[in-house]
Amino acid sequence: MTVHPEVKPGFWARNKRLLSFGDVGYLPLFIIFLFFFFAYLQPRFATFANLQNVSRQGAFLAIVACAQMFPLLGGGFDISVGANIGLVSVITSIVTLQFGIAFGLLSGILCGAFVGLINGTVVSIFRVSPFVATLAMMSAARGAGLFITNGQPIFGLPKSFLYIGTRYIGPFPIPTLIAAFAFLLTYLILRKFFFGRYFYAIGGNAEAARLSGVNVIGYRLLSYVICGTLTGIAGVTITSRIGSGEPMTGAGLGLESIAAVVVGGVALTGGKGTVLGVCLGVITLALISNGLDLINVSSYLQMVVIGAIIVFAVIADQFKTGKKG
């Protein structure tokens, strides 16, 4: 009988569990690498003032990423969130000028929720592909915003309205605190509310969930309504930040939110993902965007980088899914 010598595992194999962080994988290590990499290239990157700026810039993406997480967990997605934000910005501005800030904020959030309701109805009840349904909504919402404003920004918003997007509470920008609230709300819905696990079940196996008594149509619709509501919150916050109603606001947030969520470990096929992972995905994209800005990389090239990140994240997700399968 031939005795084969024992092969000792290499360093990576021995320390894989130590270096990995559970569901979020090696993303925390990558974030640490990004921080020191950009700090080395541009010392201003690591200043407290710039990190405040990163948190404020990333806050809008964070809210939309939380929104995007709900339909993705259920096996869908929403590429209309960017156009929804533009429409919310227009509606919020018009109502604020006519009826005051409180009604403006409420109308913007309700507008976002209504767009989500339409998306959810078309996807869940009429069983239209999420891509087709939300692509159509992206065109409709963007067109509606441009039609209402004739393609022009809406100026003259009251100064007190602008506080939401520009002021601080202590050292924290208010948009950052709103993003933290969005993460907390998302966590509570998915982990503490009884129906949170239904989103995972539907994304994992919709037919099995239906046979278990889950109202698949109803909860899939609800995922889009929650997505639209959070998108509405993002829309009014961005409008307060830029100080005007812009129908083209949020144009890039649709793909960026999908990128952040997928980088954070949410499976494109549904049924898998954590709020912590999405938070780390947002931080990753925010650091990359800010760091590239500081080292004077063209905004057009940054779009290429975001596209490459999406492709890489999807390939990594498919690889993990294939290995588990």
* Residue-range domain boundaries for the chain: 27-32+44-318
- CA–CA separation, 233 and 290 (whole Å): 23
Q: Answer yes or no: is pLDDT of 324 > 80.
A: no
Read off the pLDDT of each residue in 181-205 and give the average, rounded to a whole number: 95
Distances (CA, A) of 255 to 145, 160, 175, 307: 20, 32, 21, 8
Task: State the pLDDT at residue 252.
Answer: 85
Read off the pLDDT of each residue in 15-19 and give the average, rounded to a whole number: 44
Name residue, tokens 């990333």. 58
Task: State the pLDDT at residue 13.
Answer: 47
Domain 27-32+44-318 has CATH 1.10.3470: yes
Read off the pLDDT of each residue in 65-94 and give the average, rounded to a whole number: 97
Q: Answer yes or no: is pLDDT of 168 > 90.
A: yes
Range scoring the smallest mean pLDDT among 28-32, 72-76, 297-301: 297-301
Task: State the pLDDT at residue 268.
Answer: 86
User: How would you class 124 by CB atoms within 10 Å of its CB: exposed for 0-12, middle for 13-18, buried for 19 or more?
Assistant: buried
Q: Answer yes or no: is pLDDT of 317 > 80.
A: no
Spell out the residues 6+ positions from residue 127 whose beta carbon is closer than 8 angstroms to its own.
Answer: none
Task: State the pLDDT at residue 9.
Answer: 55
Q: Answer yes or no: is pLDDT of 129 > 80.
A: yes
Q: What is the mean pLDDT of the chain?
A: 90
Task: State the pLDDT at residue 315.
Answer: 80
